[in-house]
Amino acid sequence: MIVRVRAPAKVNLFLRVLGRRGDGYHDLETVFHTLGLFDELTFQAAPDLTLSAAGIPSPAGDDNLCLRAARLLQGRTHGRRPGARIRLVKHIPTGAGLGGGSADAAACLVGLNRLWALRLGRPALARLAAELGSDVPFFLVGGAAVGKGRGERLTAIRTRLTAWAVILKPAFGIPTGEAFAALDSIPADRRTCPAATLAGVVRAVTRGSLEALRVHNDFTQPAEARHPRVAQLRVGLLRTGARAAFLTGSGSAVVGLYAGRPAATRAARTLQAKFRGFARVAPLGSFVLRPTPG
């Protein structure tokens, strides 16, 4: 038996960091939304648990979140399950804030749950996902959701938002730990005050109003201060007609939203010719993880 899963990228249409917690993590408020840029995973029964990867380079061995997810699931089923041969074809760049590693981890939980006939329900998978990373539980929900706590406390929202995204990633990534440290170093009275609100972004998403969408990301200020290229890409997107342009996650990818595909495609070609980095066009949509046999 072979099981296939496509793992979508995500963007953060709103991201506020509320403060550091006693356990070292930060409380935050965010609005996740899936994006039609996918990693492709294939699962096949095998004596051992192995992972091979192709496409965009990704972490190897224990640093790969997908393999860690597979081992966690195998261990929690008391080691009674067989192994699996996992094949990952990566299209979502790493270190970008697009959630590629988290999506792959969630896809591993879903794909192996089907391959090994575990019949674990969504709550059980969500508990495992939360152990792997703050963004991983969202990909078990998909579509759009409000995230609180570390991001793992989710409330799904129905999205009617239709847009085409231009995704630009410079040659460098921004490690999550570095991004939080940079944000923490900015005194509260010097941080950018957002015009956007969580409630306002949720209204725009549920009503499908790209015109009313006002995005915000607390990581934008420190990212643009330390990496001028991030600001250049964001401004470039706005100059090519993006209705919104923003850093996603902790970066370094910048995303512009356009009303139609032709405008997005023209903008991507223009901007990629100027900065010669990663550039893709993908639809914003309600994408969910669906394991399929064959």
DSSP 194-234: PS--HHHHHHHHHHT-TTT---EETTHHHHHHH-HHHHHHH
Contact assessment for residue 144 and residue 31, using Cβ atoms and an 8 Å cutoff: yes
Indicate the domain borders of the chain. 2-157, 163-284
What pLDDT sits at residue 63? Answer: 82
Whether residue 253 is predicted with pLDDT greater than 80 in this model: the reply is yes
Structural contact between residues 118 and 133, judged by C-beta atoms closer than 8 angstroms: no
Report the mean per-residue pLDDT for the chain. 94
Residues with catalytic annotation?
10, 135
Query: Which pTM value belongs to this model?
Result: 0.95
* 42 against 95, higher pLDDT: 42
Place of tokens 């706590």: 149
| CATH class of this structure's domain 163-284 | alpha beta
Q: Supply the pLDDT for residue 79.
A: 67
| 242-260 average pLDDT score | 97
Cα separation of 23 and 134, whole Å?
A: 14
In 3D space, the residue among 85, 120, 89, 123 whose CA is nearest the CA of residue 103 turns out to be 89
**Fold (topology level) of 2-157:** Ribosomal Protein S5; domain 2 (3.30.230)
